[in-house]
Amino acid sequence: MKASGFLLRIEHTEGEARTGTLTTPHGRVSTPAFMPVATFGAVRGISAAELQSVGAQILLSNTYHLHERPGEETVKTLGGLHGFTGWSGPWLTDSGGYQVTSLADRMMIDEDGVIFASPLDGKKRRLSPEGVIGIQESLGSDIAMVLDECLPSVAKLGPEENRARMEAAMMRSLRWAERAARARQREEQAVFGIVQGGTDETLRGRSAEALTALGFDGAAHGGLGLGESRQERVKAVRIAHSVLPPEQPRYLMGLGRPIDLMDGVACGVDLFDCVVPTRNGRHGLLFTSEGILSLKNAGYRSDENTIDPACDCPACTSHSRGYLRHLFKCGEALAGRLAALHNLRFYLSLLEQSREAISEGRFAEFRSEMEPRLDRRLTV
């Protein structure tokens, strides 16, 4: 089954980098695009209107956590994710596969799926490939993800044992993907497969080839950002892209340092998500066009400068570094909200600028100019 009304139109290319328009049932997305993470149906402390004001086009929510509470039937009754949350634009829901890693001490895995001991009440919850598709259909997202077995790329095993474990997880993920493809009922909901295989080039290529044969609407890169080097990650993404259909959207799951976005765009990735901008913002770490700002440092106490002179977010247009530091030191909730909004605006703007640069044939120059600043720590 292919999703109706779902289409990626590629508009400009420069090397492997590309821009496009992704059409979904709830609106269009200019790609490459960053998806703010709304785990429970909300980006912590930030309203739908505020997200729209800083340029968000599509949001991501977590299938496992919404299944835990309030439950997918409640969300469905209240209008699906769009009616339930007030965000009327496109939604992507992940499958809960990452919880195989993040809740490893609370789960058991077998051929039928994953059993979790709920962190809420300790009761057992099972996620199966078919059940995860059903949950996401009830949630009403525009893009759903298949259930996969997500392993760190770097395991505490010898090379042979590690590869064997990675291959077994990749093959199980493919068997689950086949079951998920058969379980689909909603024609208007796109479903993405997830490429696994760690950083092993052969496994990564086999996974991408098998997923392509299953006829999904797009593909995601899974199991990365879990210990491998930047160079290994780029190679793994490129191997998969050499096999995946170029006309379909490509999604790099959960990787979100600004430098990771630049690497992904250069490789032809269309969609990104990560909690890095909002989580770091709430802890006083801000990304700027000049470098990374640790706003809680005492040196910013009387700093009258704006956070980022190149930014047009609410924090930068109305407040000084000294004021925002004061809010953090006082424990004022507004501090984290403003900082998270700023970081989101920085990420969204970075991709806006990338899209413009690709369309004008100068992305390589833009990337070369930006990269030295992205990991630079500003000092006072």
Residues 256 and 342 in one domain: no
Residues 176 and 285 in one domain: no
* Chosen domain end from 274, 305, 320: 274
In a domain, 99, yes or no: yes
Domain that holds residue 284: 280-374
What is the tens place of the pLDDT at every residue in 199-229?
999 999 999 999 999 999 999 999 999 889 9
Q: Which of 23, 186, 38, 44 is nearest to 90 (CA)?
A: 23
- Copy the structure tokens of residue 147: 């259930």
* Chosen domain end from 274, 290, 305: 274
Determine the pLDDT at residue 156.
61
Residues 293 and 263 in one domain: no
In a domain, 174, yes or no: yes
- Which residues are catalytic, by number? 94, 273
Residues 264 and 294 in one domain: no
Average pLDDT of span 72-100: 93
Report the percent of the chain where pLDDT is more than 70: 97
Could you tell me where the DSSP H helices lie in the chain?
A: 48-53, 63-68, 72-77, 80-85, 99-102, 129-139, 159-183, 201-213, 230-241, 258-267, 276-282, 314-318, 321-330, 333-359, 363-374
- Average model confidence (pLDDT) across the chain: 94
Residues 73 and 198 in one domain: yes
Residues 348 and 264 in one domain: no
What residues contact residue 13 under an 8 Å CB cut-off, 6+ apart?
Answer: 19, 358
Residues 188 and 162 in one domain: yes
Residues 218 and 104 in one domain: yes
What is the tens place of the pLDDT at every residue in 302-349?
999 999 999 999 999 999 999 999 999 999 999 999 999 999 999 999
In a domain, 380, yes or no: no
Residues 33 and 85 in one domain: yes
Q: Does residue 236 carry a pLDDT above 90? A: yes
Question: Higher confidence at residue 46 or residue 156?
Answer: 46
In a domain, 130, yes or no: yes
Q: Does residue 176 carry a pLDDT above 60? A: yes
Determine the pLDDT at residue 151.
81
pTM value > 0.85: yes
In a domain, 61, yes or no: yes
Average pLDDT of span 94-109: 75
Residues 263 and 298 in one domain: no
Residues 290 and 192 in one domain: no
In a domain, 291, yes or no: yes
Longest CA–CA span in the chain (Å) reads: 61
Q: Does residue 76 carry a pLDDT above 60? A: yes
What is the tens place of the pLDDT at every residue in 17-75?
999 999 999 999 999 999 999 999 999 999 999 999 999 999 999 999 999 999 999 99
Determine the pLDDT at residue 191.
98
Q: What is the CATH number of the domain that holds 78?
A: 3.20.20.105
* Chosen domain end from 246, 274, 302: 274
Of 71-85, 87-101, 304-318, the range with the lowest mean pLDDT is: 87-101
Determine the pLDDT at residue 100.
61
Q: Which residue has the tokens 């809680």?
A: 296
Q: Is the dihedral of CA 336, 95, 126, 111 positive or negative?
A: negative
Please state the domain count of the chain. Answer: 2
Residues 151 and 248 in one domain: yes
What is the pLDDT confidence band of residue 1, given thresholds at 50, 70 and 90? confident
What span, in angstroms and rounded, lies between the C-alpha atoms of 220 and 13? Answer: 20
Q: Does residue 256 carry a pLDDT above 80? A: yes
What residues contact residue 156 under an 8 Å CB cut-off, 6+ apart?
Answer: none
In a domain, 1, yes or no: no
Average pLDDT of span 137-163: 85
| 3-class secondary structure, 31 | strand
Question: Higher confidence at residue 83 or residue 155?
Answer: 83
Determine the pLDDT at residue 226.
86
Determine the pLDDT at residue 195.
97
